[in-house]
Chains A and B, each alone.
Chain A
Amino acid sequence: MKQLLSGNEAAARGAWEAGLAYASAYPGTPSTEILENLSDYKEVTAEWAPNEKAALESAIGASIGGVRALAAMKHVGVNVAADPMFTFAYMGVNGGMVLISADDPGMHSSQNEQDNRHYARFAKIPMLEPSDSQECLEMMKEAFVISETYDTMVLYRMTTRVCHSRSLVVTGDRLTANPPAYRREREKYDAVPAISRILRVKLEGRIDRLRTYSENCAFNRIEDNGSQTGVITSGISYCYAKEIFGDSVSYLKLGFTHPLPMNLIRNFAGKVSTLYVIEELEPFIEEQIRTAGIACVGKDKLPAMGEFDPDTVARSLLGRENPTIAFDKALLVDRPPTLCAGCPHRPFFYELGKRKNTIICGDIGCYGLGGSAPLNAKDLCICMGSSFSVAHGMARAVETRRDERRTVAVMGDSTFFHTGINSLINILYNHSNVIAVILDNRVTAMTGHQENPGTGHKLQGEVSDVMDIGTIARALGAKHVRQVNPMRLDEMRSAIDWAYGIQGEPVVLITRWPCIFKKLSDEEKREFPQEQRGCAVNEGKCIGCKLCVRTGCPALSYEAADKKARVDAVQCTGCGVCVQVCPKQAIA
């Protein structure tokens, strides 16, 4: 029976069918649901790691220890995990080992759109690129076979549209995987220079054997439609090419894209007079084809940035545009994502945004939305866990220039455990003049409410110990630590006053209130009592001052017709922030 599965569900299913025993990941769009789905299989130990490096290292240990293992992460997570990846590539595996990189062309939910296929060449590891959910399942099973047959970690590269598109999948049964038990092999697993020099040479032999595999791999296949036009393509681009060209051209559909099957490519190119290379993002395949002296049409016509869709192919290669309905686009008002109604980050940003002479370094998470109007409480953001360290350098620069501005850094609880904890050590060790704020909403919210070391639960539901951020900060030597309930604006304001009052030493301020969508335990319900009813505006008292709408709550609006504020009863959670802002007590 066929099931409609997302690429992430199918990849998880494929890993389970391949006999996977261990999986680790840090959540990140578009990869998150891979581990969430694996957590439902009782034969698999599936865990959240605090970051991608820890996730990959855990999977490496499991592989060497004698089971099939995988680590999953979004593209930028592979940067965090790159250190163990490059060296483990030298070693080879014991149990099959797959690293999933879920890239985000078009940056739907990411800070960049790096093309992680380059990592396969860089680290000299084989790579698979599924196009749809059925391939996600089948390629995952083959990935483990490749890994054990060729003694190498495999990079399994997905993109947002593959991860989050659903298509019909035929599933199978779970296979029994029986890798050898661990035995000491220092000459394979102990990467000291003398051993690594030997492994380095072996790496070349392995990639040579994989070149032969690539020529014969069933995932590198020709669809010969007898056309003089040929298309070489991989991943989601194959779907777009089929959509536009149908059976009017011949295809070389590449699923195993590192190392490339150069003989197969040469033979295919020889049969056609025009050769298109259709690939999203970088000219990864195209450049290798051109280097081999084969003429093709690729990034000279197709864009090398942004997400593709079928139109991109039609417009770039055929000059074809579909007729559309014309309308006045000036009518549209932007609808940027916002902090949700009831979000505990809102009152913090509302208060912080009012401070003058402040530079605010942000981080990766929902709270990145605090920079938008009307809160306007952010200057910059780089990557996960960066804000304290970036703020530290900023504070040093500001001191050097005798600038009066204060530097505030903001990050979430999960981001703190990810790599923010290293950033905190940096500012404490170096006596930074930074106000370091940890917005502890008791969950990894942005990616869909995953557990983390601060929540007291693990991915598969088991209870764990709660790591308390304030205790950690004090243990690291922080002298000025305060925790505050952000939902009380007066307390929030005085806590920020307190932090601004401390000069020349790092200050740690923790706002602690759960994400409005977190499912609370009984214990949490006691700690964080929730309002049972929403707010409403007393129109007799409302003077139309618009102070409440400056909190940026999507449940509030201002009606110009009667000059009154309105609360949308469907969205309002009764958090009470607007109630505290209203100067006329018109909201209750």
Chain B
Amino acid sequence: MGKVTNVLLVGVGGQGTIMVSTVLTHGLIEAGYDVKMSEVHGMAQRGGSVTTQVRFGETVYSPIIGRGQGDVLTAFETMEALRILEALKPDGKVIVNDYRIPPMPVIAGEAPYPEGLIGILQKAADTSVIDAASIAGKLGNTKVMNVVLLGALLKVLNLAEIDWESILKRVIKPQFFDVNLQALRAGMAAV
């Protein structure tokens, strides 16, 4: 059985994890991999923690992995990286967005947003920190934060040579193509 690579994309409902997974899987299929992807729908999406899993290799059986099996974790929100950390292999890689979305207990003043999470992640795993909000902001559209993170992920996965430009062109509406392509390149350059 050939090696299967396990990618975890985590964030908060509405951050665009599914869109990133969709672009990623398009490229992986073109590169000739067997691919499986698992996503979350329904109530869980409403501002809760969301996880999308993408697995690729020669033959992929399960669409999801268990604990300690992830190769690369991309977290769109800082605390969500920690929440799913047990899914990662001890030598797995973390790409973490230095971006906080306070959960309801924090908003309601019941708990503080924990401090020092980036440092904890860096100590626990091979971690790349991306300030995707600033990068996206400089490109003029904070919403492309997710594609910045995709760029970083593709670089870490050594998949940068796939023709992502033409894949983006197919997946993204023409009026948003340029800014998304810039975001992808900026993300690749950020790790």
CA distance A333 to B41 in the complex (A): 22
CA distance A332 to B84 in the complex (A): 10
> Does B66 lie within 8 Å of A312, measured CB to CB?
yes
Which of A6, A167, A334 is B105 in contact with, Cβ under 8 Å?
A334
> Does B79 lie within 8 Å of A337, measured CB to CB?
no
B contact residues around A374 at 8 Å (CB): 104, 108
CA distance A321 to B68 in the complex (A): 8
> Does B42 lie within 8 Å of A108, measured CB to CB?
yes
A contact residues around B48 at 8 Å (CB): 335-338
> Does A109 lie within 8 Å of B43, measured CB to CB?
yes
A545-585: CB near B (< 8 Å → 1, else 0) gives: 01001101110111010000000101000000000000000
B108-127: CB near A (< 8 Å → 1, else 0) gives: 11111110010010001100
> Does B41 lie within 8 Å of A314, measured CB to CB?
no
CA distance A246 to B124 in the complex (A): 31
> Does A30 lie within 8 Å of B42, measured CB to CB?
yes
A contact residues around B38 at 8 Å (CB): 161, 164-166
Q: Output the nearest chain A residue to B28 by Cβ-Cβ distance.
A: A4
In the complex, chain A residues 137-188 whose Cβ is within 8 Å of any chain B Cβ = 161, 164-168
Which of B13, B60, B79 is A333 in contact with, Cβ under 8 Å?
B79
**Count of interface residues, chain B, beta-carbon cutoff 8 Å:** 64
Given the known A-B contacts A239-B62, A552-B104, A558-B107, are A324 and B46 also in contact in the complex, defined by CB atoms under 8 Å? no
Given the known A-B contacts A309-B66, A331-B120, A335-B104, are A324 and B86 also in contact in the complex, defined by CB atoms under 8 Å? yes
Interface presence of A61 (CB below 8 A): no
> Does A322 lie within 8 Å of B68, measured CB to CB?
yes
> Does B41 lie within 8 Å of A164, measured CB to CB?
yes
Closest beta carbon of chain B to A506's beta carbon, Å: 29
> Does B37 lie within 8 Å of A4, measured CB to CB?
yes
Which of A109, A164, A322, A332 is B66 in contact with, Cβ under 8 Å?
A322
> Does A4 lie within 8 Å of B44, measured CB to CB?
no
Interface presence of B155 (CB below 8 A): no
> Does B43 lie within 8 Å of A321, measured CB to CB?
no
Interface presence of A358 (CB below 8 A): no
CA distance A310 to B85 in the complex (A): 17
CA distance A166 to B60 in the complex (A): 11
In the complex, chain B residues 12-26 whose Cβ is within 8 Å of any chain A Cβ = 12-14, 25-26
> Does B42 lie within 8 Å of A109, measured CB to CB?
yes
B contact residues around A168 at 8 Å (CB): 29, 34-35
A contact residues around B35 at 8 Å (CB): 4, 166-168
Q: Output the nearest chain A residue to B113 by Cβ-Cβ distance.
A: A333
A contact residues around B109 at 8 Å (CB): 546, 549, 558
> Does B63 lie within 8 Å of A161, measured CB to CB?
yes
Interface presence of A289 (CB below 8 A): no
Q: Output the nearest chain B residue to A549 by Cβ-Cβ distance.
A: B107
Which of A242, A334, A447, A549 is B42 in contact with, Cβ under 8 Å?
A447
Given the known A-B contacts A4-B29, A323-B90, A325-B88, are A339 and B46 also in contact in the complex, defined by CB atoms under 8 Å? yes
**Count of interface residues, chain A, beta-carbon cutoff 8 Å:** 67
A contact residues around B83 at 8 Å (CB): 332, 335
Closest beta carbon of chain A to B7's beta carbon, Å: 13
> Does B82 lie within 8 Å of A332, measured CB to CB?
yes
CA distance A247 to B188 in the complex (A): 38
> Does B102 lie within 8 Å of A366, measured CB to CB?
no
Interface presence of A215 (CB below 8 A): no
CA distance A324 to B68 in the complex (A): 5
Interface presence of A372 (CB below 8 A): yes
Q: Output the nearest chain A residue to B114 by Cβ-Cβ distance.
A: A331
Closest beta carbon of chain B to A246's beta carbon, Å: 6
Beyond known contacts A108-B40, A337-B48: 17 more, CB 8 A cutoff: A4-B35, A29-B43, A161-B63, A165-B36, A165-B63, A166-B36, A243-B61, A321-B67, A322-B67, A324-B90, A332-B114, A334-B105, A337-B46, A366-B46, A368-B43, A549-B109, A557-B102
Chain A interface residues toward B at CB < 8 A: 2, 4, 6, 29-30, 32-33, 108-109, 132, 161, 164-168, 236, 239-240, 242-243, 246-247, 309-312, 314, 321-328, 331-340, 366, 368-369, 372-374, 446-448, 546, 549-550, 552-554, 556-558, 560, 568, 570
User: What are 21 A-to-B residue pairs whose CB atoms are below 8 Å?
Assistant: A108-B41, A109-B44, A132-B63, A161-B63, A165-B38, A165-B63, A168-B29, A239-B62, A242-B61, A242-B62, A322-B66, A323-B89, A325-B88, A333-B114, A335-B103, A338-B48, A340-B46, A368-B43, A373-B104, A373-B105, A550-B108
Sorted nearest first, the 3 A-B pairs with minimum C-beta distance are A311-B66, A322-B68, A109-B42
